[in-house]
């Protein structure tokens, strides 16, 4: 299954990238208060950075890991997420891209 989602944010792509990617660990609770992240590798977020995940959206907590697999400053970030659910392992590949909006109105 593939899911695409777009949103227009009235900020420069560099500011959005800084908030969402560079400061992902610090800011993640602001858009998902049910997720706890713990950094497992040292240093700033980059390809190879690893995190422990624990979320409590529904039912029993679900734990897993996240590894950054793509990191292009001010442009994109990709992650491989592996959660251990009651129904077995769930692998998700996530990718975010930031680019200037050139239209006159937000997309539908």
Q: How far apart are CA 77 and CA 2, in angstroms?
A: 17
pLDDT tens-digit profile of 20-32? 999 999 999 899 9
pLDDT over threshold 80, residue 13? yes
Closest CA to 23 of 5, 11, 39, 4: 39
Token pair in block for residue 89: 């392992």
Are 87 and 78 contacting, i.e. CB atoms less than 8 angstroms apart?
no
pLDDT for 60-79, tens place per residue? 899 999 999 999 999 999 99
Residue 65 lies in a domain: yes
**Residue 22: predicted pLDDT:** 92
Determine, yes or no, domain membership for 74: yes
Containing structural domain, residue 51: 13-97
Global confidence as pTM: 0.85
- Residue at 108 is within a domain: no
- Convert the pLDDT of each residue in 69-106 to its tens digit: 999 999 999 999 999 998 999 999 999 999 888 876 55
* Cβ contact 51:65 at 8 Å: yes
Residue 5 covered by a domain? no
Q: In the β-sheet with 88-97, what is the strand arrangement from edge to edge?
A: 35-39, 50-55, 62-72, 76-85, 88-97
Q: Is residue 59 part of a domain?
A: yes
- pLDDT for position 57: 83
Number of domains in the chain: 1
């Amino acid at each position: 299954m593939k899911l695409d989602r777009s949103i227009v944010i009235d900020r420069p792509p560099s500011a959005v990238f800084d908030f969402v990617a560079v400061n992902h660990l610090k800011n993640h609770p602001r858009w998902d208060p049910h997720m706890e992240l713990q950094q497992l590798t040292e240093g700033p977020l980059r390809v190879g950075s690893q995190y422990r995940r624990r979320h409590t959206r529904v039912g029993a907590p679900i734990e897993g890991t996240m590894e950054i697999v793509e990191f292009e400053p001010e442009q994109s970030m990709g992650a491989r997420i592996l959660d251990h659910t009651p129904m077995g392992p769930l692998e998700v590949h996530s990718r975010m891209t930031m680019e200037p909006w050139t239209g006159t109105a937000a997309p539908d």
